[in-house]
């Protein structure tokens, strides 16, 4: 069993990766598990690829563990691509995720359903020493008219309706979400690299 550090303190994200990587002989750990939950990594690059790599390499060096980190963006066409690369900062500092979702929905007031197209993009970076491997996953969809706060999920899940669905991510079963989501697609793309490292 090989240790894999997931570069997050978010229990929801850790659970997703436990599902996504369940077929591999890996023991997943969070930043909190290895005492790095207070370590700050400046995510100041302007691309998802660069920010994911910054985190993966910084946590890999600090922990001396194989480390997977991701960076996710939400790109809403009617808002010129906002929130973009910085969804967790949308609306300014000090806001809760519920407040950020409310702000985004407010910006889309009056925008018809057909023009509320958006996509989640996830870039996974796998850090091994000073080397990094990157993959990308994209999920097309649209922004819901209201915040659907029930169900599971985190972040913007409650206001994102994936293409082909009539409900938000919050009400899509986890196994189904992992199959088609941006993070699920990226995780599938990184599996061959992880399998090679586990065998090695």
Residues with catalytic annotation?
A: 71
DSSP bridge partners of 125: 69, 134
Name residue 121's beta-bridge partners.
73, 138
Compute the distance between CA of residue 133 and CA of residue 187 in angstroms, rounded to an integer. Answer: 12
Please name the residue ranges forming H helices in the chain. 11-20, 48-63, 97-107, 174-180, 182-199
Phi, psi of 50 (to 5 degrees): -65, -40
- Cβ neighbors of 68 (< 8 A, separation 6 or more) are 4, 5, 6, 7, 17, 56, 124, 125, 126, 127, 190
Q: How far is CA 125 from CA 21, 48, 136, 148, 149, in A?
A: 15, 10, 9, 31, 30
Q: Which residues pair with 122 in a beta bridge?
A: 72, 137
């Amino acid at each position: 069993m090989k240790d894999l550090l997931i570069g997050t303190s978010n229990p929801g994200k850790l659970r997703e990766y436990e599902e996504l990587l369940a077929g591999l002989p890996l023991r997943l750990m969070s930043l909190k598990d290895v005492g790095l939950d207070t370590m700050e990594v400046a995510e100041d690059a302007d691309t998802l690829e660069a920010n994911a790599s910054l985190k993966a390499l910084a946590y890999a060096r600090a922990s001396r563990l194989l480390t997977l980190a991701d960076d996710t963006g939400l790109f809403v066409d009617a808002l010129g691509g906002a929130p973009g690369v910085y969804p967790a900062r949308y609306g300014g500092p000090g806001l809760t995720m519920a407040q950020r979702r409310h702000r985004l929905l407010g910006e889309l007031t009056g925008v018809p359903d057909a023009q509320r197209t958006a996509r989640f993009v996830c870039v996974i970076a796998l850090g091994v020493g000073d080397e990094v491997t990157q993959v990308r996953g994209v999920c097309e969809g649209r922004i819901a008219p209201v915040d659907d706060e029930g169900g599971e999920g985190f972040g913007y899940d409650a206001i994102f309706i994936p293409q082909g669905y009539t409900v938000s991510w919050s009400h899509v079963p986890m196994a189904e979400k992992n199959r088609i989501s941006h993070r699920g697609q990226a995780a599938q793309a990184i599996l061959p690299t992880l399998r090679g490292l586990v065998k090695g």
